[in-house]
């Protein structure tokens, strides 16, 4: 009987445990061969990869480039680690709500949305996992990057003027301060040299208002060299021309006028807007914001990668 039991035991094949290949280790997480295959499957399905992690590559390029696929997976693991560290995970209820909102945004019911996704070869359970991860990534991006981005109307205007250099908006009203150097004191050459000395100090970081107090030879000098507020066309033409390209707070070089030499600071300005720019402003700001986000995301990811333990086994 014992020999029979031994024979039966030996006759039962031992099931070999399949050990899956580890492609990389990122901090405390691993990337398996199955992760790579799962990504390759996702690439072929619309909306199942995150454009922000593709480093400007198209889905077709990503599909053919194994190194780019590994970079994508490493970036995903880094984001996953940060989401956990910052406690930005979302609940299944939040995912279900987002799924319902997606249906509304596309003017379809949930059942129809499910049918559309299935028609594209997308497994609904897998899609909801992807959706959960996408919401968490967005929360992370909002916290770490987007909330810190600032695009002003002036940034948009400067971008607009690159393509439309002849459409400069006119300065309608402005306030200026100046440091004045009179040629009546020792002649024009001596006045210009005094202006050079003051300008050198200004460019080395000294305060404009303090220098105005020290150097200005304006007989009607007021605190900080303030001259007041003027409408376009009301002031000295040479000075209006010199400040036309300045941002508020910036200063000119040495400006010669019929009165003498000036160093001028633009303290306020109001522009008459270009109507063409006003129509394009929001679109330009959105483009600048997107470009800024992509730059900051690349830097953020690189910094996180530099601070992470990454071992690639391929």
CATH for 195: 3.10.50.40
Q: Is the pTM of this model over 0.75?
A: no
Shared-domain flag, residues 194 and 262: yes
Q: What range defines the domain where residue 305 resides?
A: 22-149+292-312
Shared-domain flag, residues 131 and 234: no
Give pLDDT, residue 97: 96
Domain count, the chain: 2
Give pLDDT, residue 7: 42
DSSP-derived secondary structure for 66-106 = HHHHHHHHHHHHHHHHHHHHTT----HHHHHHHHHHHHHHT
Tell me the C-alpha distance between 50 and 38, whole Å.
14
Q: Is residue 185 domain-resident?
A: yes
Shared-domain flag, residues 213 and 247: yes
Give pLDDT, residue 26: 92
Could you report the per-residue pLDDT of 1-55, keeping only the tens digit for each? 444 333 433 444 555 455 689 999 998 889 999 999 999 988 888 888 888 888 7
Kindly report the average pLDDT of the chain as a whole number: 89
E strands of 206-281, at which residues? 226-231, 251-256, 261-272
Half-sphere exposure of 179 (CA within 13 A, CB side): 26
Buried (b) or exposed (e) across 281-295, using 16+ Cβ within 10 A?
beebbeebbeebbee
Contact call for residues 144 and 284 (beta carbons, < 8 A): no
Give pLDDT, residue 222: 87
Shared-domain flag, residues 200 and 118: no
Shared-domain flag, residues 46 and 93: yes
CATH number of the domain that residue 121 is part of: 1.10.4030.10
Give pLDDT, residue 18: 55
- What residue ranges of the chain have pLDDT lower than 50? 1-12, 16
């Amino acid at each position: 009987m014992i020999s029979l039991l031994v024979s039966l035991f030996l006759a039962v094949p031992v099931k070999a445990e399949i050990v899956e290949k580890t492609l990389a280790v990122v901090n405390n997480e691993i990337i398996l061969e199955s992760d790579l295959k799962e990504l390759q499957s996702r690439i072929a399905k619309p909306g199942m990869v995150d454009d922000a992690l593709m480093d400007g590559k198209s889905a077709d390029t990503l599909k053919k480039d194994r190194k780019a696929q590994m970079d994508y997976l490493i970036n995903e693991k880094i984001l996953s680690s940060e989401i956990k560290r910052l406690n930005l995970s979302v609940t299944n209820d939040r995912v279900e709500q987002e799924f319902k909102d997606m249906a509304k945004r596309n003017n379809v019911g949930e059942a129809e949305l499910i049918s559309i996704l299935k028609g594209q070869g997308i497994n609904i359970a897998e899609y909801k996992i992807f959706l959960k991860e996408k919401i968490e990534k967005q929360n992370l991006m909002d916290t770490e990057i987007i909330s810190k981005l600032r695009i002003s109307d002036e940034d948009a205007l400067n971008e607009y003027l690159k393509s439309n250099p002849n459409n400069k908006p006119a300065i309608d009203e402005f306030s200026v301060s100046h440091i004045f150097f009179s040629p009546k004191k020792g002649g024009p050459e001596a006045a210009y040299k005094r202006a050079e000395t003051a300008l050198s100090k200004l460019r080395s970081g000294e305060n404009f208002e303090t220098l105005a107090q020290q150097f200005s030879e304006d007989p009607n000098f007021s605190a900080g060299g303030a001259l007041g507020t003027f409408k376009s066309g009301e002031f000295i033409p040479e000075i209006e021309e010199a400040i036309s390209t300045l941002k508020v707070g910036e200063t000119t070089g040495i400006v010669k006028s019929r009165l003498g030499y000036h160093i001028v600071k633009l303290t306020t300005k109001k522009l008459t807007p270009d109507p063409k720019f006003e129509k394009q402003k929001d679109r330009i700001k959105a483009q600048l914001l997107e470009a800024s986000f992509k730059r900051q995301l690349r830097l953020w990811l690189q910094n996180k990668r530099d601070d992470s333990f990454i071992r690639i086994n391929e």
